[in-house]
Protein backbone atom coordinates (compact mmCIF):
# COMPACT_ATOMS: atom_id res chain seq x y z
CA UNK A 1 0.00 0.00 0.00
CA UNK A 2 1.38 3.39 -0.88
CA UNK A 3 2.24 5.79 1.92
CA UNK A 4 3.68 8.78 0.10
CA UNK A 5 1.53 9.86 -2.84
CA UNK A 6 2.45 12.65 -5.20
CA UNK A 7 -0.54 13.13 -7.47
CA UNK A 8 -0.45 15.17 -10.67
CA UNK A 9 1.64 17.96 -9.14
CA UNK A 10 2.46 20.97 -11.32
CA UNK A 11 4.36 24.14 -10.55
CA UNK A 12 5.44 27.19 -12.53
CA UNK A 13 7.49 30.02 -11.02
CA UNK A 14 6.67 32.11 -14.06
CA UNK A 15 3.36 31.81 -15.87
CA UNK A 16 3.49 29.36 -18.74
CA UNK A 17 6.83 27.87 -17.69
CA UNK A 18 6.17 24.75 -15.63
CA UNK A 19 9.23 23.37 -13.85
CA UNK A 20 7.22 20.46 -12.41
CA UNK A 21 4.65 19.08 -14.82
CA UNK A 22 1.81 16.68 -13.94
CA UNK A 23 4.16 14.68 -11.73
CA UNK A 24 2.84 11.56 -10.00
CA UNK A 25 4.69 9.04 -7.88
CA UNK A 26 3.90 6.73 -5.00
CA UNK A 27 6.09 5.03 -2.44
CA UNK A 28 5.35 2.43 0.21
CA UNK A 29 6.04 3.06 3.87
CA UNK A 30 9.63 2.42 4.88
CA UNK A 31 10.90 2.23 1.28
CA UNK A 32 13.66 4.24 -0.35
CA UNK A 33 13.39 5.69 -3.85
CA UNK A 34 16.18 7.39 -5.79
CA UNK A 35 15.06 10.21 -8.07
CA UNK A 36 17.63 11.07 -10.73
CA UNK A 37 17.56 14.09 -12.98
CA UNK A 38 19.88 16.61 -14.53
CA UNK A 39 20.39 20.09 -13.12
CA UNK A 40 17.28 22.23 -13.53
CA UNK A 41 14.92 19.29 -14.06
CA UNK A 42 12.80 20.39 -11.08
CA UNK A 43 13.97 17.93 -8.42
CA UNK A 44 14.51 20.47 -5.63
CA UNK A 45 11.21 22.18 -6.40
CA UNK A 46 9.41 18.85 -6.19
CA UNK A 47 11.04 17.98 -2.84
CA UNK A 48 10.19 21.38 -1.40
CA UNK A 49 6.58 20.88 -2.50
CA UNK A 50 6.51 17.45 -0.80
CA UNK A 51 7.93 19.06 2.36
CA UNK A 52 5.22 21.74 2.27
CA UNK A 53 7.84 24.46 1.78
CA UNK A 54 6.91 25.49 -1.77
CA UNK A 55 3.49 26.31 -3.21
CA UNK A 56 2.22 23.98 -5.93
CA UNK A 57 -0.19 25.23 -8.59
CA UNK A 58 -2.16 22.00 -8.82
CA UNK A 59 -2.12 18.38 -7.68
CA UNK A 60 -1.85 16.80 -4.25
CA UNK A 61 0.74 15.39 -1.90
CA UNK A 62 -0.53 12.87 0.65
CA UNK A 63 1.57 11.22 3.35
CA UNK A 64 -0.41 8.57 5.23
CA UNK A 65 -3.42 10.47 6.55
CA UNK A 66 -1.83 13.86 6.05
CA UNK A 67 -2.48 16.04 3.02
CA UNK A 68 0.48 18.37 2.65
CA UNK A 69 -0.66 21.97 2.40
CA UNK A 70 1.07 24.78 0.56
CA UNK A 71 3.07 27.13 2.79
CA UNK A 72 0.71 29.99 1.92
CA UNK A 73 -2.09 27.99 3.54
CA UNK A 74 -0.31 27.55 6.86
CA UNK A 75 0.98 29.75 9.67
CA UNK A 76 4.23 27.81 9.95
CA UNK A 77 5.31 26.12 6.70
CA UNK A 78 6.54 22.54 6.75
CA UNK A 79 5.87 19.53 8.94
CA UNK A 80 7.84 17.79 11.70
CA UNK A 81 6.95 14.49 10.03
CA UNK A 82 8.60 15.46 6.74
CA UNK A 83 12.24 16.48 7.00
CA UNK A 84 14.34 17.85 4.16
CA UNK A 85 18.16 17.68 4.13
CA UNK A 86 20.10 19.43 1.41
CA UNK A 87 23.73 20.07 0.51
CA UNK A 88 24.16 23.46 2.14
CA UNK A 89 22.23 22.38 5.22
CA UNK A 90 23.44 24.61 8.03
CA UNK A 91 24.55 23.17 11.34
CA UNK A 92 24.79 25.46 14.36
CA UNK A 93 28.52 26.33 14.23
CA UNK A 94 28.92 27.01 17.94
CA UNK A 95 27.01 23.95 19.09
CA UNK A 96 28.51 20.48 19.49
CA UNK A 97 27.40 17.48 17.47
CA UNK A 98 25.24 16.34 20.38
CA UNK A 99 23.64 19.78 20.77
CA UNK A 100 23.00 20.04 17.03
CA UNK A 101 21.13 16.73 16.98
CA UNK A 102 19.21 17.61 20.16
CA UNK A 103 18.13 21.08 18.97
CA UNK A 104 14.80 20.11 17.31
CA UNK A 105 13.87 18.22 20.50
CA UNK A 106 14.14 21.27 22.72
CA UNK A 107 10.46 21.11 23.76
CA UNK A 108 10.53 17.42 24.58
CA UNK A 109 10.95 15.73 27.94
CA UNK A 110 14.61 15.76 29.01
CA UNK A 111 14.90 12.02 29.55
CA UNK A 112 13.37 11.26 26.12
CA UNK A 113 15.65 13.83 24.50
CA UNK A 114 18.74 12.29 26.06
CA UNK A 115 17.77 8.79 25.05
CA UNK A 116 16.84 9.78 21.48
CA UNK A 117 20.09 11.70 20.92
CA UNK A 118 22.19 8.89 22.41
CA UNK A 119 20.44 6.42 20.09
CA UNK A 120 21.08 8.57 17.00
CA UNK A 121 24.73 9.22 17.94
CA UNK A 122 25.25 5.48 18.25
CA UNK A 123 23.41 4.59 15.07
CA UNK A 124 25.29 7.20 13.04
CA UNK A 125 28.59 6.21 14.68
CA UNK A 126 29.04 9.78 15.86
CA UNK A 127 29.52 8.96 19.56
CA UNK A 128 33.26 9.73 19.54
CA UNK A 129 32.47 13.19 18.13
CA UNK A 130 29.55 14.14 20.35
CA UNK A 131 31.46 17.03 21.95
CA UNK A 132 33.06 18.22 18.70
CA UNK A 133 32.08 21.41 16.86
CA UNK A 134 30.89 20.98 13.24
CA UNK A 135 33.91 22.80 11.75
CA UNK A 136 36.20 20.12 13.18
CA UNK A 137 34.35 17.32 11.39
CA UNK A 138 34.87 15.97 7.87
CA UNK A 139 32.25 16.83 5.23
CA UNK A 140 30.77 13.33 5.50
CA UNK A 141 30.49 13.56 9.29
CA UNK A 142 28.84 16.98 9.01
CA UNK A 143 26.23 15.55 6.66
CA UNK A 144 25.64 12.70 9.10
CA UNK A 145 24.96 15.26 11.85
CA UNK A 146 22.52 17.03 9.51
CA UNK A 147 20.75 13.72 8.88
CA UNK A 148 20.82 12.94 12.62
CA UNK A 149 19.16 16.27 13.29
CA UNK A 150 16.52 15.59 10.66
CA UNK A 151 15.89 12.11 12.14
CA UNK A 152 15.67 13.37 15.72
CA UNK A 153 11.95 14.10 15.44
CA UNK A 154 11.29 10.57 14.14
CA UNK A 155 9.90 11.84 10.82
CA UNK A 156 7.77 9.57 8.65
CA UNK A 157 9.43 10.89 5.50
CA UNK A 158 13.01 11.97 4.89
CA UNK A 159 13.76 14.00 1.77
CA UNK A 160 17.40 14.11 0.71
CA UNK A 161 18.29 16.76 -1.87
CA UNK A 162 21.79 15.95 -3.14
CA UNK A 163 23.13 15.99 0.42
CA UNK A 164 26.38 14.27 -0.53
CA UNK A 165 27.43 16.24 -3.61
CA UNK A 166 30.24 18.07 -1.80
CA UNK A 167 31.84 14.78 -0.71
CA UNK A 168 34.42 12.80 -2.68
CA UNK A 169 33.48 9.48 -4.29
CA UNK A 170 34.84 7.19 -1.55
CA UNK A 171 33.24 9.23 1.25
CA UNK A 172 29.94 9.23 -0.63
CA UNK A 173 29.91 5.49 -1.20
CA UNK A 174 30.72 4.74 2.45
CA UNK A 175 28.15 7.18 3.76
CA UNK A 176 25.40 5.93 1.45
CA UNK A 177 26.16 2.34 2.52
CA UNK A 178 25.89 3.31 6.18
CA UNK A 179 22.71 5.36 5.74
CA UNK A 180 21.01 2.68 3.70
CA UNK A 181 21.19 0.31 6.68
CA UNK A 182 19.99 3.02 9.06
CA UNK A 183 16.99 3.90 6.89
CA UNK A 184 16.05 0.24 6.66
CA UNK A 185 16.26 -0.26 10.41
CA UNK A 186 14.21 2.89 11.11
CA UNK A 187 11.64 2.03 8.43
CA UNK A 188 11.64 5.68 7.39
CA UNK A 189 10.31 6.48 3.91
CA UNK A 190 13.06 8.19 1.90
CA UNK A 191 13.08 10.15 -1.33
CA UNK A 192 16.71 10.57 -2.38
CA UNK A 193 17.35 13.13 -5.10
CA UNK A 194 20.60 13.09 -7.02
CA UNK A 195 21.99 13.78 -10.48
CA UNK A 196 24.41 10.87 -10.07
CA UNK A 197 23.16 7.48 -11.20
CA UNK A 198 25.89 5.64 -9.25
CA UNK A 199 24.80 7.27 -5.99
CA UNK A 200 21.17 6.52 -6.82
CA UNK A 201 21.91 2.84 -7.38
CA UNK A 202 24.11 2.56 -4.28
CA UNK A 203 21.14 3.71 -2.21
CA UNK A 204 18.33 1.52 -3.58
CA UNK A 205 17.14 -0.50 -6.54
CA UNK A 206 13.98 1.56 -6.98
CA UNK A 207 14.76 4.24 -9.52
CA UNK A 208 12.77 7.19 -10.87
CA UNK A 209 13.99 9.47 -13.63
CA UNK A 210 12.93 13.08 -13.99
CA UNK A 211 13.52 15.31 -16.99
CA UNK A 212 12.12 18.73 -17.76
CA UNK A 213 9.77 18.56 -14.76
CA UNK A 214 8.26 15.23 -15.83
CA UNK A 215 8.57 11.69 -14.58
CA UNK A 216 10.16 9.83 -17.47
CA UNK A 217 10.41 6.37 -15.95
CA UNK A 218 10.16 4.44 -12.69
CA UNK A 219 11.37 0.94 -12.08
CA UNK A 220 14.16 -1.44 -11.29
CA UNK A 221 17.54 -0.31 -12.69
CA UNK A 222 17.88 -3.40 -14.87
CA UNK A 223 14.53 -2.64 -16.53
CA UNK A 224 15.39 1.01 -17.13
CA UNK A 225 18.75 -0.16 -18.50
CA UNK A 226 17.27 -2.64 -20.95
CA UNK A 227 14.06 -0.75 -21.82
CA UNK A 228 14.66 2.98 -21.34
CA UNK A 229 11.68 5.22 -22.13
CA UNK A 230 13.77 7.90 -23.77
CA UNK A 231 17.26 8.90 -24.76
CA UNK A 232 18.02 10.65 -21.46
CA UNK A 233 17.07 7.57 -19.40
CA UNK A 234 19.14 5.40 -21.75
CA UNK A 235 22.22 7.62 -21.66
CA UNK A 236 22.27 7.80 -17.88
CA UNK A 237 23.63 4.26 -17.93
CA UNK A 238 26.07 4.38 -20.82
CA UNK A 239 27.02 5.75 -24.19
CA UNK A 240 24.78 4.58 -27.05
CA UNK A 241 26.11 3.47 -30.44
CA UNK A 242 23.76 4.37 -33.29
CA UNK A 243 23.18 1.52 -35.74
CA UNK A 244 23.80 2.46 -39.34
CA UNK A 245 20.79 2.00 -41.61
CA UNK A 246 18.30 1.60 -38.75
CA UNK A 247 16.20 4.53 -37.61
CA UNK A 248 16.80 5.64 -34.00
CA UNK A 249 18.18 2.26 -33.00
CA UNK A 250 21.17 1.86 -30.74
CA UNK A 251 23.37 -0.70 -29.03
CA UNK A 252 25.24 -0.26 -25.77
CA UNK A 253 29.04 -0.65 -25.65
CA UNK A 254 28.62 -3.38 -23.01
CA UNK A 255 26.46 -5.42 -25.42
CA UNK A 256 29.08 -5.50 -28.15
CA UNK A 257 31.32 -8.51 -28.63
CA UNK A 258 34.65 -7.81 -30.25
CA UNK A 259 36.25 -10.33 -32.62
CA UNK A 260 39.35 -10.50 -34.81
CA UNK A 261 37.25 -11.56 -37.83
CA UNK A 262 33.61 -11.62 -38.99
CA UNK A 263 31.15 -8.94 -37.95
CA UNK A 264 30.77 -5.20 -38.43
CA UNK A 265 34.20 -3.90 -39.26
CA UNK A 266 35.73 -1.00 -37.28
CA UNK A 267 39.12 0.44 -36.46
CA UNK A 268 40.36 1.21 -32.94
CA UNK A 269 41.16 4.94 -32.94
CA UNK A 270 41.52 5.48 -29.19
CA UNK A 271 41.72 3.50 -25.98
CA UNK A 272 41.11 4.46 -22.37
CA UNK A 273 42.05 2.36 -19.36
CA UNK A 274 38.98 2.10 -17.09
CA UNK A 275 38.54 0.06 -13.91
CA UNK A 276 36.85 -3.01 -15.38
CA UNK A 277 37.80 -2.79 -19.06
CA UNK A 278 39.58 -0.81 -21.73
CA UNK A 279 37.13 1.56 -23.38
CA UNK A 280 37.77 1.49 -27.10
CA UNK A 281 36.80 4.30 -29.44
CA UNK A 282 36.05 2.76 -32.81
CA UNK A 283 35.55 4.21 -36.25
CA UNK A 284 33.17 2.39 -38.57
CA UNK A 285 33.68 2.34 -42.34
CA UNK A 286 31.19 5.20 -42.82
CA UNK A 287 33.11 7.32 -40.30
CA UNK A 288 30.64 6.81 -37.39
CA UNK A 289 32.29 6.73 -33.98
CA UNK A 290 31.34 3.93 -31.56
CA UNK A 291 32.44 2.89 -28.09
CA UNK A 292 33.14 -0.70 -27.03
CA UNK A 293 34.34 -2.42 -23.87
CA UNK A 294 37.42 -4.60 -24.23
CA UNK A 295 37.15 -6.67 -21.04
CA UNK A 296 40.26 -8.74 -21.77
CA UNK A 297 42.27 -5.63 -22.66
CA UNK A 298 43.50 -7.34 -25.83
CA UNK A 299 43.20 -4.63 -28.48
CA UNK A 300 45.34 -1.57 -29.20
CA UNK A 301 45.01 1.64 -31.17
CA UNK A 302 45.20 0.92 -34.93
CA UNK A 303 43.77 -2.63 -34.71
CA UNK A 304 40.94 -3.67 -36.99
CA UNK A 305 38.12 -5.30 -35.04
CA UNK A 306 34.79 -6.96 -35.90
CA UNK A 307 31.67 -6.39 -33.84
CA UNK A 308 28.63 -8.54 -33.10
CA UNK A 309 25.65 -8.09 -30.83
CA UNK A 310 22.32 -9.74 -30.17
CA UNK A 311 19.29 -8.19 -31.82
CA UNK A 312 17.38 -8.42 -28.53
CA UNK A 313 19.85 -5.96 -27.04
CA UNK A 314 19.12 -3.27 -29.62
CA UNK A 315 17.37 -0.21 -28.13
CA UNK A 316 14.86 1.66 -30.32
CA UNK A 317 12.91 4.81 -29.59
Taking CB under 6 A as the criterion, the residue among 33, 42, 179, 258 binding ligand ATP is 42
Residue 207: CB partners within 8 Å, gap ≥ 6? 33, 34, 36, 200, 201, 217, 218, 219, 220, 221, 224
Provide DSSP, 150-206.
Answer: HHTT--SEEEEESTTTTS-HHHHHHHHHHHHHHHHHHT-EEEEEES-HHHHHHH-S-
> How near is the Cβ of 41 to ligand ATP at its closest, in Å?
4
Q: Determine how many CB atoms are found less than 10 A away from the CB of residue 240.
A: 19
CA distance 202 to 309: 29
Count interface residues toward ligand ATP (CB under 6 A).
Answer: 11
> How near is the Cβ of 99 to ligand ATP at its closest, in Å?
30
* Whether 169 contacts 185, CB under 8 Å: no
Stretch that binds ligand ATP, among 35-43, 104-112, 169-177, 179-187 (CB under 6 A): 35-43
Site for ligand ATP in 188-247 (CB under 6 A): 195
* Whether 161 contacts 85, CB under 8 Å: yes
4: nearest Cα among 132, 124, 108, 155: 155
Residue 226, class by beta-carbon neighbours within 10 Å (0-12 exposed, 13-18 middle, 19+ buried)?
A: middle
Stretch that binds ligand ATP, among 34-42, 55-63, 120-128, 303-311 (CB under 6 A): 34-42
Contact call for residue 40 and ligand ATP (CB under 6 A): yes
Taking CB under 6 A as the criterion, the residue among 1, 15, 16, 39 binding ligand ATP is 39
Contact call for residue 72 and ligand ATP (CB under 6 A): no
Taking CB under 6 A as the criterion, the residue among 4, 36, 45, 291 binding ligand ATP is 45
Contact call for residue 34 and ligand ATP (CB under 6 A): no
Stretch that binds ligand ATP, among 37-45, 96-104, 144-152, 288-296 (CB under 6 A): 37-45
Taking CB under 6 A as the criterion, the residue among 6, 35, 36, 44 binding ligand ATP is 44
41: nearest Cα among 279, 209, 292, 257: 209
Site for ligand ATP in 10-29 (CB under 6 A): 13, 19
Q: β-strands 315-316, 278-284: how paired?
A: unpaired
> How many Å is the Cα radius of gyration of the chain?
23
> How near is the Cβ of 57 to ligand ATP at its closest, in Å?
13
Minimum CB distance to ligand ATP smaller for 70 or for 281: 70
Give backbone dihedrals phi and psi of 199, rounded to 5 degrees, phi first. -60, -45
> How near is the Cβ of 22 to ligand ATP at its closest, in Å?
15
Minimum CB distance to ligand ATP smaller for 41 or for 152: 41
Taking CB under 6 A as the criterion, the residue among 31, 43, 144, 149 binding ligand ATP is 43
Minimum CB distance to ligand ATP smaller for 43 or for 172: 43
* Whether 55 contacts 11, CB under 8 Å: yes
Binding-site string for ligand ATP from residue 156 to residue 195, where x marks contact by CB under 6 A and - marks none: ---------------------------------------x
Contact call for residue 316 and ligand ATP (CB under 6 A): no
Binding site for ligand ATP (CB under 6 A): 13, 19, 37, 39-45, 195
Amino acid sequence: MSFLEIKAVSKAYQKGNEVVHDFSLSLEKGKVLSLVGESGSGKSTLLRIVAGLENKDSGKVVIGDLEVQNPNERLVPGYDDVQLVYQEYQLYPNSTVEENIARPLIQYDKAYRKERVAHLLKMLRLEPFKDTLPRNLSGGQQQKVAIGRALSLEPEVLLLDEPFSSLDGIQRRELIGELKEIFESLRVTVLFVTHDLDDALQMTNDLAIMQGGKLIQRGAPEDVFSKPNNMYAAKLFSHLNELPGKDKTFVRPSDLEIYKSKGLSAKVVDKQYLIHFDQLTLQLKDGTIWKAEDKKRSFKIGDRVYLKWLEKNEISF
